[in-house]
Structure 1
Amino acid sequence: MKRRSFIQKTALSSGALSLTGALSYANTFTNTVNAHLFNLKYAPHLGMFKHLAGDDPIDQLNFMADQGFTAFEDNNMMKRDIALQEKMGEALVKRGMTMGVFVVDKGGNMENTLAAGKQEHLDIFLDGCRRAVDTAKRVNAKWMTVVPGGYERNLPIGIQNANVIEALRRGAEILEPHGLTMVLEPLSDSPDLHLQTSEQTYLICKGVDSPSCKILYDIYHMQKNEGHLIHNMSLTWDEIAYIQIGDNPGRNEPTTGEINYRNVFKWIHEKGFDGVLGMEHGNSKDGKEGEQAVIDAYKHEDNFL
């Protein structure tokens, strides 16, 4: 996936990340802003509101909470300094926010493909799972994204799927004792990716047969790869543990593309989904105006009751 990394240099003059200062910021905003009550747990990421909230990650978390967002996701959490992970975890608890996904560090999306059945690729993946457990504990996370890797063209697809299933079973053995869940994400970035559709991901999850291996249904990618969003989510619903958002074309906030997100959100809500919907997209406009447009778009599309 062509994921964006939005974190910037801290705006604090001392160059340190101060939790005390962040909480002071939170108190100021909480007294002046009426947080919107969303029907679903939409999760912004760092950088999405940097012009309105400032560059400091803790300030950004507090700003998200002040707007009414009750979740947060961070693809790059495993790569962040441990001290920052701990501070972010503390801030999320204080603001009552649910931590969404971070990406298991196993190399890039096309690298170390589990479909190949190679021991060296499996070892890198399992090491990433072990390290992910420690990260999850620091930030109170439950879900982590896994992309199995590239398509292994010298093997039949059935053999590739079997290799992926076997590798994920090993990963699930690491995560299960801690109550953690890896969520598999089919992507649209390249035809060389092994995992591309919800039905294939469903088959693999059934093969792994573990509460620690479920589907991440990214609406943007699945609109590109297969369409029929509500129909395909319905078919695979019992294995979907996490959802991500992005309109198509453009991969920006809802209302900027062709997807009827109000209807999709309404269907998800009616299914009783109480998990996280990650806002894994860009802003269609720059600066404060663009950031406010993202907030307004979610208020608009969430108004389905």
Structure 2
Amino acid sequence: MRLAVCAEMVFTGLPFTERVRLISEAGFDVELWDSRTKDIRALKATGAEFSSMTGYTAGSLVDPDTADDVVRTAEALVPTALELGVKRMVVHSAELIDGKAARPAYRSTGSMWITGARTLERLGALGEKHGLTFCLENLNTVLDHPGIPLARAKDTLTLVEAAGHPNVKLMLDLYHAQLGEGNLIELVRSALPHIGEIQVADVPGRCEPGTGEVNYAAVARALAAAGYDGTVGMEAYASGDDGAALEAFRRAFTVPGPVTAPGPDSTPVSAGATL
């Protein structure tokens, strides 16, 4: 498994390209948000491995009136993703402006479900064409993103399942899931076949693992035992020193093994493996 760090949230006193360089030199892949504000040539020159980036800039995939905008802007971002070697493009079930719902909706409808699944199918076809995966991220509506319909992990999982396309997966954010739903270990087990990437931050505070209530070491052991071999990204602020926050994240997702997979023929999965 690979570890990634969101460059938008750490080393925030430095220019963005320098943040990317420091994260990469520390041995992590890099996540970024809106690539339109970035110097793509400079980012590529750092030699960093880019895990994910925001995959659309307008529209809501569950809104029949604006779903075309999601696909249109996703297609416009594909060249940047290919240039940086990004593997996953992140989408949400609504249009976000500074993290807030552009058009808040507090009730889901049948039209939203149908439109969401169909839009994800279209994104899947776009991803298949270019070798990319579109990942639908769950969000919490309790604190950070009120008014986002179909945002809970169980809803995003259902939409991904309904789309049924291999280039459509979940960006399973465990910070958001903890705030909205909890029961994280069972959640990752049930969602495992559909996960494209996992993001983490502690609760409360949205800082690195170890600063709040989530037992991320237990989550890491469950992931290893279930055979998860994808990316875990820290989308979190540093509670103090940025370098120390990255190391705390690394420690939380280093399983001291051997880890035994569940089942009648249980065998060690790894020993001292870093997820």
TM tier, smaller: 0.7 to 0.9
**More deviation, 267-276/172-181:** 267-276
Answering whether residue 115 of structure 2 is matched by residue 163 of structure 1, we say: yes
User: What do the CA deviations read for 1:204-230 (whole angstroms, capped 9, x no partner)?
Assistant: 112111122110110100001110001
Answering whether residue 78 of structure 2 is matched by residue 133 of structure 1, we say: yes
Q: Which runs of 5+ in 2 are unaligned?
A: 95-100, 257-275
The structure having more radius of gyration, on CA atoms, is: 1
Q: Distance in 2 between matches of 1:156 and 1:279?
A: 30
User: What do the CA deviations read for 1:81-103 (whole angstroms, capped 9, x no partner)?
Assistant: xxx213312423xxxx4311111
Q: Which residue of 2 aligns with 1:203?
A: 158
Question: Pick from 245, 255, 267: which aligns with 1:304?
Answer: 255
SS of residue paired to 2:227: coil
Q: Distance in 2 between matches of 1:166 and 1:304?
A: 39
TM-score (norm 2): 0.81
Q: CA deviation at 1:201?
A: 1.3
CA RMSD of aligned residues (A): 2.3
- Aligned amino acid, residue 115 of structure 1: V
Q: CA deviation at 1:163?
A: 1.1
- Aligned amino acid, residue 93 of structure 2: P
Answering whether residue 4 of structure 2 is matched by residue 42 of structure 1, we say: yes
TM-score (norm 1): 0.73
Q: Which residue of 2 aligns with 1:218?
A: 173
Q: Which residue of 2 aligns with 1:144?
A: 89
Given that 1:129 and 1:175 are in contact with CA atoms closer than 8 Å, whether structure 2 keeps it comes out as: no
Q: Distance in 2 between matches of 1:182 and 1:176?
A: 10
Q: Which residue of 2 aligns with 1:248?
A: 203
Q: Distance in 2 between matches of 1:164 and 1:126?
A: 12
Q: Distance in 2 between matches of 1:154 and 1:295?
A: 36
Q: Distance in 2 between matches of 1:141 and 1:200?
A: 26
Q: Looking at secondary structure, tell me which structure has more strand per residue.
A: 2
Question: Pick from 23, 37, 48: which aligns with 1:64?
Answer: 23
SS of residue paired to 2:171: strand
Matched positions, count: 246
User: What do the CA deviations read for 1:112-157 (whole angstroms, capped 9, x no partner)?
Assistant: 3332311xx1231121111121111110011011012168859863
Q: Which residue of 2 aligns with 1:113?
A: 60
Q: Which residue of 2 aligns with 1:11?
A: none
Q: Which runs of 4+ in 1 moved over 4 A?
A: 150-156
Q: CA deviation at 1:47?
A: 5.7
- Aligned amino acid, residue 64 of structure 1: I
- Structure 2 vs 1, CA of residues 44 and 174 (structure 1 numbering), >3 Å: closer, same or farther? closer
SS of residue paired to 2:86: coil
SS of residue paired to 2:4: strand
SS of residue paired to 2:235: coil
Given that 1:253 and 1:284 are in contact with CA atoms closer than 8 Å, whether structure 2 keeps it comes out as: yes
Q: Distance in 2 between matches of 1:65 and 1:152?
A: 37
SS of residue paired to 1:48: coil
